[in-house]
């Protein structure tokens, strides 16, 4: 397949590009570089030895997408492009709705016009809101607790309606739990702008001496050690889930949603301990107040993806930590070097 990969210069997008290319597929990237670097795509080319045509621009730019379709045969798309910071989304909701929904609608309209009706959509476990029970299955109640989450939920709704109305569309939404890790080559990894929002890039920057200590957001949750529990999965496993989904699309019309998670919960303190094992250093931490909007426990029931996509996680959290440390040590300033 020749795959249009939106957001293909980002953390998750670059790892998907590598797995697609290594599986024999072609990749064309569209990315506006708002939270990513062109260097990341050059690294993908270095890892795979394959060229990656890329277009710098926005998915909501119809002319740009038309140019991509005019210049390449596109069989399917993986749509990762989007804004993703929960806190920022509560401060700038219109930006999030405009950006994330415009991009999805413009992409789907352009694909439809060109008869390319196979799509894998980057969704998120955030569509489950504050879950009533864990592990979370795909049939759990849906709800959004912030505008970012709402854009994922609405995105899924748009795609479900599209698949219902136009039955030759084949769509899979992948609900990511917490992707961590980096490519084992150490050439690509997460390179957040400014202060990291997420736990793992923050831990990595503390381990590297760029930040003083990890702030643990609350130790009074109803969990074994009181800190928040999440389902961390290696980004290479996550990326392979997209290859599995694309290859499954050929067998089924309509829209399906699958959880991509390990099925295991890990606390913040356990995550810090795993990283300490990987880097061989003590990681200073301080417990502070809960972060508003955080939930206590979130982990997946990934059995539908196991069964129907033939996908499961194969990397451990210790491997993910070792890979993050390799990436962080070799690229102390990310792709900015």
Ligand X SMILES: O=c1ccn([C@@H]2O[C@H](COP(=O)(O)OP(=O)(O)O[C@H]3O[C@H](CO)[C@H](O)[C@H](O)[C@H]3O)[C@@H](O)[C@H]2O)c(=O)[nH]1
Positions marked active-site: 148
Shortest reach from residue 15's CB to ligand X, in Å? 16
Should residue 199 be labelled a site residue for ligand X when binding is judged by CB under 6 A?
Answer: yes
- Which of these ranges, 21-29, 36-44, 210-218, 236-244, lies near ligand X under the rule CB under 6 A? 210-218
Q: Please, which residues have CB within 8 angstroms of residue 166's CB and are 6 or more apart in sequence?
A: 112, 117
Longest dimension (CA), the chain: 56
Should residue 118 be labelled a site residue for ligand X when binding is judged by CB under 6 A?
Answer: no
Should residue 86 be labelled a site residue for ligand X when binding is judged by CB under 6 A?
Answer: yes
C-beta of residue 30 within 8 angstroms of C-beta of residue 57: yes
Question: Which of 200, 197, 194, 195 has its CA nearest to residue 324?
Answer: 200
Shortest reach from residue 215's CB to ligand X, in Å? 5
Count of CA atoms in the C-beta half-sphere (13 A) of 236: 20
Q: Segment 121-160, which members bind ligand X (CB under 6 A)? A: 124-126
3-state secondary structure of 174: strand
Map residues 157-196 to x or -, x wherever contact with ligand X holds by CB under 6 A.
Answer: ---------------------x------------------
Map residues 297-326 to x or -, x wherever contact with ligand X holds by CB under 6 A.
Answer: -x----------------------------
Q: Which of 216, 233, 245, 309 binds ligand X (CB under 6 A)?
A: 216
Considering the complex, state which of residue 64 and residue 295 has its C-beta at the smaller distance from ligand X: 295
Shortest reach from residue 12's CB to ligand X, in Å? 11
3-state secondary structure of 172: strand
- Which of these ranges, 53-61, 239-247, 291-299, 300-308, lies near ligand X under the rule CB under 6 A? 291-299
Strands 229-230 and 170-176 come out as unpaired
Should residue 84 be labelled a site residue for ligand X when binding is judged by CB under 6 A?
Answer: yes
Considering the complex, state which of residue 20 and residue 298 has its C-beta at the smaller distance from ligand X: 298
Map residues 222-261 to x or -, x wherever contact with ligand X holds by CB under 6 A.
Answer: ------x-x-------------------------------
Task: From residue 221, give the alpha-carbon distance in Å to each of 39, 72, 83, 226, 271.
Answer: 40, 51, 29, 5, 16
Should residue 74 be labelled a site residue for ligand X when binding is judged by CB under 6 A?
Answer: no
Shortest reach from residue 49's CB to ligand X, in Å? 32
Residues touching ligand X: how many (CB under 6 A)?
A: 19
C-beta of residue 21 within 8 angstroms of C-beta of residue 44: yes
Count of CA atoms in the C-beta half-sphere (13 A) of 27: 34
Pairwise CA distance, residues 266 & 232, whole Å: 7
Question: Which of 309, 221, 336, 311 has its CA nearest to residue 267?
Answer: 221
Considering the complex, state which of residue 230 and residue 326 has its C-beta at the smaller distance from ligand X: 230
Q: Please, which residues have CB within 8 angstroms of residue 34's CB and are 6 or more apart in sequence?
A: 83
Pairwise CA distance, residues 31 & 67, whole Å: 14
Residues forming the site for ligand X (CB under 6 A): 84, 86, 124-126, 178, 197-199, 202, 215-217, 228, 230, 268, 291, 294, 298
């Amino acid at each position: 397949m020749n795959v249009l990969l939106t957001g293909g210069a980002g953390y998750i997008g670059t790892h998907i590009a590598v797995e697609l290319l290594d599986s024999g597929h072609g990749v064309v990237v569209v990315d506006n570089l708002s939270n990513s670097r062109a260097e990341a795509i050059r690294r993908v080319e270095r890892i795979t030895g394959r060229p990656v045509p890329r277009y710098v621009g926005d998915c909501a730019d119809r002319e740009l997408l038309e140019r991509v379709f005019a210049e390449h045969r596109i069989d399917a798309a993986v749509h990762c492009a989007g804004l993703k910071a929960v806190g920022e989304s509560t401060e700038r909701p219109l930006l999030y709705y405009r950006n994330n929904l415009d991009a999805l609608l413009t992409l789907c309209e352009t694909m439809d016009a060109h008869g390319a009706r196979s799509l894998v959509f980057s969704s998120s476990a955030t569509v489950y809101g504050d879950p009533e029970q864990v592990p979370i299955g795909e049939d759990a109640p849906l709800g959004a607790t912030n505008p970012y989450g709402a854009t994922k939920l609405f995105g899924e709704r748009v795609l479900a309606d599209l698949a219902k109305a136009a039955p030759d569309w084949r769509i899979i939404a992948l609900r990511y739990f917490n992707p961590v890790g980096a490519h084992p080559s150490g050439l690509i990894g997460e390179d957040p702008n400014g202060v990291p929002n997420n736990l793992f890039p923050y831990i990595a920057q503390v381990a590297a001496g760029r930040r003083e200590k990890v702030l643990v957001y609350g130790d009074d949750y109803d969990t074994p050690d009181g800190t928040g529990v999440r389902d961390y999965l290696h980004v290479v496993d996550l990326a392979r889930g997209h290859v599995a989904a694309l290859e499954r699309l050929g067998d089924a019309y309509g829209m399906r949603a699958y959880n991509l998670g390990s099925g295991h919960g890990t606390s913040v303190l356990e995550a810090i301990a795993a990283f300490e094992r990987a880097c061989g250093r003590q990681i200073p931490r301080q417990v502070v107040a809960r972060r508003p909007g955080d939930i206590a426990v979130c982990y997946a029931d990934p059995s539908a993806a196991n069964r129907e996509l033939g996908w499961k996680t194969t990397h451990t959290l210790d491997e993910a930590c070792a890979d993050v440390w390799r990436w962080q040590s070799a690229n102390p300033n990310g792709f900015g070097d």
